[in-house]
Structure 1
């Protein structure tokens, strides 16, 4: 066997042994089986965008004027696409009332509600470490978001990335893991075959992006209530 190839194999074996040693030392269990990749057809993507545009965004505009951030969420029936609940950020009332948490509370208060595993969780922005944990603890297995962390940061709210890194020294959670599969709307649209439906979905995302950029500008100029990470 050539010397170079032998050296590469030796280095790979040493790296694997070191990783295993660190896991055992830290008692970190190996990753479990992942949730299936999140895939949505054009009909369901249309419902996701409609829930944001027609049910979340109007609430957000109202609450933004009170100093709440422009983060909202909804729970959709994964089969019909019907909206079960829609909500927006209410952290001026309670600091952990992010849009996702409010949506979970509204869903849990329903006397008749679909099981979390039968739902699609929708977030306008990629959920922070608080919210992605709440989504998992509630039993939701699929979550789609309109804007990734990088867009949230560009819109002037970098706390999601900063807190995750400061707490755990990771850049982001694992988007596919044994509990939850998440994906951005634009990624799911890009996976569709070229068609007029896909072009329409892309145009709607662009319109929503402009609307949320405007909300971000309004938030920066609006009232500053006494909340953490305002």
Structure 2
């Protein structure tokens, strides 16, 4: 079977092979690890995101954590500086400045990448290319869309005809923190406290999202390429 390329020439169609046998295991996390990641978002990422939104940037932030879930580096969206500086990409860029090139592969593989929002196609690819195997995120795509930023799903649909990347593949495994919390048994004593933290974060990010949308049109540094 063949198809025509942009020049009208015949070219073979490459089959897509899903190697289920080599995909990474499903991520889990202890109650303590979940609580630590929520604390990183609230104490390390959120404050810099508040500063970023004040300059006209979107609400997406991220952090690199060590194997013990301690913060190595936290950052936020800086699209007013460069359109490629989504929160995840900006964090990888800054992280690469403090980790020698010869050590980055091993460092990434032994680290945890934490995103406030499920990474878009550019960001999740960047995380992959940086070498991270473990990705946690707080808000899933459905919440990002509800916050008025549907570009994550739209770009994947328009470019590749899919609604999401494969969350478990041979490169990495990703998991939503909110899902992990909801899956805890109600008998777990920390579940209510974790849910309270989730609600606090949801309210904080809703406030920031509303601020961004209300001010973006009047911000001369916002290109609004996608809105």
Task: With the length of structure 2 as denominator, give the TM-score of the two structures.
Answer: 0.86
1:137 and 2:140 matched: no
Whole-angstrom distance in 2 between the partners of 1:228 and 1:47: 35
Whole-angstrom distance in 1 between the partners of 2:27 and 2:216: 38
Any gaps of 5 or more consecutive residues in structure 1?
1-23
Whole-angstrom distance in 2 between the partners of 1:30 and 1:214: 40
Partner of 2:74: 86
Give the drift of 1:25.
4.7
Whole-angstrom distance in 1 between the partners of 2:216 and 2:128: 32
Partner of 1:56: 45
Partner of 2:91: 103
Give the drift of 1:100.
0.2
1:172 and 2:164 matched: yes
Partner of 2:147: 155
Any gaps of 5 or more consecutive residues in structure 2?
1-11
Whole-angstrom distance in 2 between the partners of 1:76 and 1:91: 23
Give the drift of 1:43.
1.1
Relative to structure 1, is the Cα distance of residues 158 and 30 closer, same or farther in structure 2, using a 3 angstrom cutoff?
Answer: closer
Moved over 6 A (4+): none
Give the drift of 1:192.
2.9
* C-alpha RMSD over aligned residues: 1.6
Give the drift of 1:81.
1.4
Partner of 2:6: none
1:5-84 aligned within 5 A? 25-32=13-20, 33-78=22-67, 80-84=68-72
Partner of 1:211: 204
1:181 to 173, 183, 188: 173
Question: 1:175–1:181: 8 Å Cα contact kept in structure 2?
Answer: yes
Whole-angstrom distance in 2 between the partners of 1:163 and 1:27: 22
Partner of 1:3: none
For residues 183-203 of structure 1, what are the alpha-carbon distances to aligned partners after superposition, in whole Å with 9 as ceiling and x for unaligned? 110111233333221211111
Give the drift of 1:134.
0.3
Partner of 2:193: 200
Relative to structure 1, is the Cα distance of residues 116 and 218 closer, same or farther in structure 2, using a 3 angstrom cutoff?
Answer: same
Give the drift of 1:30.
3.5
For residues 7-62 of structure 1, what are the alpha-carbon distances to aligned partners after superposition, in whole Å with 9 as ceiling and x for unaligned? xxxxxxxxxxxxxxxxx953323425110111110111111111110111111111
